[in-house]
């Protein structure tokens, strides 16, 4: 596979978006070039901010020093999260019971959740609960909200812990809307907060349908805390289409990928 430099780097990015990481030895074999050539390509891609070099290869850029605080994350990829939230609302049916978790994309969904009737929303997110109360008071949403009890996490603006888990055992939901820190074909879905990850894992066992909301920056990322393998997910709502190398796996696992902006094509940096 003799390719020009730009074609090589495009191939490397395709592999990176699909798997979240690349290895120098494997790339050299696939591209039929020297390992030194691959290292130079990785260096240039790092200079462009498209990957982070590590020993033996490269990974997708992730948070340095841990995930930023909730308030800081609300403005990161804001337009993408807003579009995803609005698209996710289309999946909510009148009379349904849904779960909404603690992510900032879920909060955008809560802001867009209007015009629905007789819905029940269960959440462990303080910001989502406040937003839903405002919508009920204004009459733009009909139904009720149930805020799970337990220990408050100021950092995540959420409720979690033992009491929260025990309360959650009393419910079943039609649809669970889950946000996350990363989604990967290889490792599935994960997040950075252990306590909220435990809640998400429990929710996935009590829902008829699992709907993941993830902006493109989460695709190919392996977050710290594993929540579930990808085949546990029914629907993924993203602001961009899936990586081309994911197509067969998504079809095999029966996962529906919904693009918020309606565009087609592969995810590119």
Section 64-91 average pLDDT = 79
Same domain (yes/no): 40, 120: no
> Is pLDDT at 51 greater than 90 in this prediction?
no
264 pLDDT band, cuts 50/70/90, is very low
Same domain (yes/no): 224, 123: yes
Section 211-233 average pLDDT = 91
DSSP string computed for the chain: ----HHHHHHHHHHHHHHHSEEEHHHHHHHHTS-HHHHHHHHHHHHHTTS-EEETTEEE----TTSPPPHHHHTTTTHHHHHHHHHHHHTTPPTT-EEEE-S-HHHHHHHHH--S--SEEEEE-BHHHHHHHHHHHHHTSS-EEEEEPPSEEETTTTEEESHHHHHHHTT--EEEEEEE-SEEETTTEEEES-HHHHHHHHHHHTSEEEEEEE--GGGBT---SEEEE-GGG-SEEEESSPPPGGGHHHHHHHT-EEEETT---S----
What is the reported pLDDT for 269?
A: 37
What is the reported pLDDT for 65?
A: 52
261 pLDDT band, cuts 50/70/90, is confident
Its pTM stands at 0.80
Domain extent at residue 169:
70-259
What is the reported pLDDT for 68?
A: 61
What is the reported pLDDT for 76?
A: 73
Cβ atoms of 238 and 260 within 8 Å: the answer is yes
Which of 59, 80, 103 is at the close of a domain? 59
Check residues 174 and 192 and name the one with the higher pLDDT.
174
Cα atoms in the 13 Å half-sphere on the side-chain side of 174: 11
Separation between Cα atoms, residue 98 and residue 145, nearest integer Å: 10
> Of all residues in the chain, what percent carry a pLDDT higher than 90?
54
Same domain (yes/no): 9, 111: no
* Mean pLDDT of the residues in the chain: 88
Residue 264 lies in a domain: no
Separation between Cα atoms, residue 12 and residue 31, nearest integer Å: 9
Q: Which two structure tokens, joined as six digits, stand for 5? A: 């430099």
Separation between Cα atoms, residue 63 and residue 66, nearest integer Å: 6
Instruction: Count the neighbouring beta carbons within 10 Å of the beta carbon of residue 48.
Output: 10
What is the reported pLDDT for 150?
A: 94
Check residues 202 and 261 and name the one with the higher pLDDT.
202
Give backbone dihedrals phi and psi of 103, rounded to 5 degrees, phi first: -70, 160
What is the reported pLDDT for 71?
A: 62
235-238 and 207-213 strand pairing? parallel
**Count of domains observed in the chain:** 2
Residue 109 lies in a domain: yes
What is the reported pLDDT for 171?
A: 96
> Is pLDDT at 155 greater than 90 in this prediction?
no
CATH code, domain with 148: 3.40.50.1360
Same domain (yes/no): 19, 115: no
What is the reported pLDDT for 2?
A: 60
Separation between Cα atoms, residue 165 and residue 159, nearest integer Å: 10
Residue 268 lies in a domain: no
Section 77-87 average pLDDT = 92
Same domain (yes/no): 133, 32: no
> Of all residues in the chain, what percent carry a pLDDT higher than 70?
91
Same domain (yes/no): 105, 219: yes
Residue 188 lies in a domain: yes
CATH code, domain with 23: 1.10.10.10
Instruction: Name the one residue in this structure whose structure tokens are 């990785």.
Output: 42
Same domain (yes/no): 41, 97: no
Section 180-192 average pLDDT = 89
Strand partners, 8: none
59 pLDDT band, cuts 50/70/90, is confident
Same domain (yes/no): 45, 159: no
């Amino acid at each position: 596979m003799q390719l020009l430099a730009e074609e090589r780097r495009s191939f490397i990015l395709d592999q990176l978006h699909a798997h979240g990481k690349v290895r120098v030895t494997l790339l050299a074999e696939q591209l039929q070039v020297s390992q030194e050539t691959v290292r130079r390509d990785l260096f240039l891609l790092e200079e462009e901010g498209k990957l982070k070099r590590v020993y033996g290869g490269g990974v997708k850029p992730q948070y340095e020093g841990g995930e930023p605080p909730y308030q800081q994350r609300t403005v990161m990829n804001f337009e993408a999260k807003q579009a995803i939230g609005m698209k996710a609302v289309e999946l909510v049916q009148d009379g349904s019971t849904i779960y909404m978790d603690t992510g900032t994309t879920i909060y955008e969904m809560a802001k867009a959740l209007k015009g629905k009737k007789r819905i029940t929303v269960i959440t462990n997110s303080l910001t989502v609960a406040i937003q839903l109360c405002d919508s009920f008071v204004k009459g733009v949403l009909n139904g009720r909200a149930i805020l799970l009890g337990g220990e408050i996490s100021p950092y995540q603006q959420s409720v979690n812990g033992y009491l929260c888990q025990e309360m959650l055992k009393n419910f079943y939901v039609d649809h669970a809307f889950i946000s996350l820190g990363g989604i990967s074909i290889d490792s599935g879905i994960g997040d950075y907060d252990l306590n909220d990850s435990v809640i998400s894992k429990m929710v996935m066992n009590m829902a008829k349908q699992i709907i993941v909301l993830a902006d493109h920056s989460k695709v190919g990322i392996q977050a710290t805390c594993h929540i579930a393998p990808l085949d546990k997910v029914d629907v993924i709502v993203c602001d961009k289409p899936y990586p081309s190398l994911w197509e067969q796996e998504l079809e095999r696992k029966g996962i529906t990928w919904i693009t918020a902006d309606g565009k087609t094509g592969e995810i590119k940096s």
